Structure 1
């Protein structure tokens, strides 16, 4: 039985598009990743309420629930997982009849969901996907929310050892696509989780440049 979740905490938009998006994520993602995406939405919506942000609830839900499609095998196209996921989310939304303008906004929200200092300067939806995901993975800003609301989110969408699964998915990305690692936050994952993995650093890249000075 699904635990009770107060409807006014962070209601999920009741639209065909949102239902289809959630169906897709449940089809291609492990349960813990699907729950992470739903918590990203719930936490982001709670953040928006606390900060008084105005946003497109359907567009934000799509960005939140689809933001990790690039970690799923079906949508791995050899790019950074954020870009693979953004491409997949946009293609899905366009196929479902969303406007090209909203599809581009969705692409941006997914592509920037790991971009500290950038996502929060873009659309409200992009900012909320970043903030919700960061809160769910690292706990950033969690102390600003009502503890009872946070507990309701966790009861409705259990973590199911997300940390272990995410680490495994990131390591798999690094091993399959080492060319996407340099100068991204995935270098930290590689340093911590992939023994012996090497990638060019800043000085090495400068030294390889065919210029004098």
Structure 2
């Protein structure tokens, strides 16, 4: 990344381009403060993992994918599809309007759509894998040891967590309560089963048993 097109944020060198600035502003408008801080930390962690591991990647794609990955994770969400897919569509529209070509726009879509599916996202293109890694580091501590502790501390100090565990849990539970049909094959189901009385999502077992074939 050319130093003329970069800046430091919480001690991490990140791309400084109009597209990234627009994504940053979009995330700040759409996300609650705790969630905005989460997506920024995810971006910084993703970027730093790429730097530390010398992973060649498109820094703008990683920036947009991480910054916009949770723009539908809020109490206004009404589906009808998984919040990640709804968010991915919005992120792709944003990218296209910003002049991003279709290949890069698709990488951004994948980064958002797969942000909570590391069993797939970590094995895709470098940009998608880094977005997934940064997000998972911030949410569950995956690869926490990769980024030096002092750097993690500075990132969290500048973009504090603001009771993220409790607030994010509340968001997931609301999705489980109001849109259980979007949760049968993703992690939100776990929150529904643990915290939401009467929660019941469609089952893959039922889908297979009800397939319109004799055997």
Same-fold call, TM > 0.5?
Answer: yes
Residue equivalent to 1:16: 18
Instruction: Identify if the C-alpha distance between structure 1 residues 7 and 93 changes in structure 2 by more than 3 Å, giving closer, same or farther.
Output: closer
Q: How big is each residue's C-alpha offset from its partner over 1:20-77, in whole Å with a ceiling of 9 and x where there is no partner?
A: 1111111111001000001101111121122221111111000010011121466754
Instruction: Identify if the C-alpha distance between structure 1 residues 196 and 56 changes in structure 2 by more than 3 Å, giving closer, same or farther.
Output: same
SS at match of 2:205: helix
Asked if the contact 1:41–1:60 (Cα under 8 Å) also holds between the matched residues in 2, the reply is: yes
Asked if the contact 2:10–2:155 (Cα under 8 Å) also holds between the matched residues in 1, the reply is: no
| Structure 1 residue 145: Cα displacement | 2.1
Residue equivalent to 1:68: 70
SS at match of 2:14: coil
SS at match of 2:27: helix
Moved over 4 A (4+): 5-9, 73-77
CA RMSD, aligned part only?
2.0
Instruction: Identify if the C-alpha distance between structure 1 residues 138 and 8 changes in structure 2 by more than 3 Å, giving closer, same or farther.
Output: closer
| Structure 1 residue 209: Cα displacement | 2.9
Number of residue pairs matched by the alignment: 209
In the alignment, the residues of structure 2 paired with residue 25 and residue 106 of structure 1 have an alpha-carbon distance, to the nearest angstrom, of 14
Asked if the contact 1:33–1:162 (Cα under 8 Å) also holds between the matched residues in 2, the reply is: yes
| Structure 1 residue 199: Cα displacement | 2.2
Alignment partner of 1:145 is 2:155: no
Correspondence 1:105-184 to 2 at 5 A: 105-184=107-186
TM-score, structure 1 length as denominator? Answer: 0.90
TM-score, structure 2 length as denominator? Answer: 0.89
In the alignment, the residues of structure 1 paired with residue 49 and residue 118 of structure 2 have an alpha-carbon distance, to the nearest angstrom, of 17
Q: Which runs of 5+ in 1 are unaligned?
A: none
Q: How big is each residue's C-alpha offset from its partner over 1:123-145, in whole Å with a ceiling of 9 and x where there is no partner?
A: 11110111111110111111232
In the alignment, the residues of structure 2 paired with residue 75 and residue 23 of structure 1 have an alpha-carbon distance, to the nearest angstrom, of 20
Asked if the contact 1:69–1:75 (Cα under 8 Å) also holds between the matched residues in 2, the reply is: no
Correspondence 1:6-85 to 2 at 5 A: 9-72=11-74, 76-85=78-87
Q: Which runs of 5+ in 2 are unaligned?
A: 1-6
In the alignment, the residues of structure 1 paired with residue 58 and residue 112 of structure 2 have an alpha-carbon distance, to the nearest angstrom, of 15
| Structure 1 residue 117: Cα displacement | 2.2
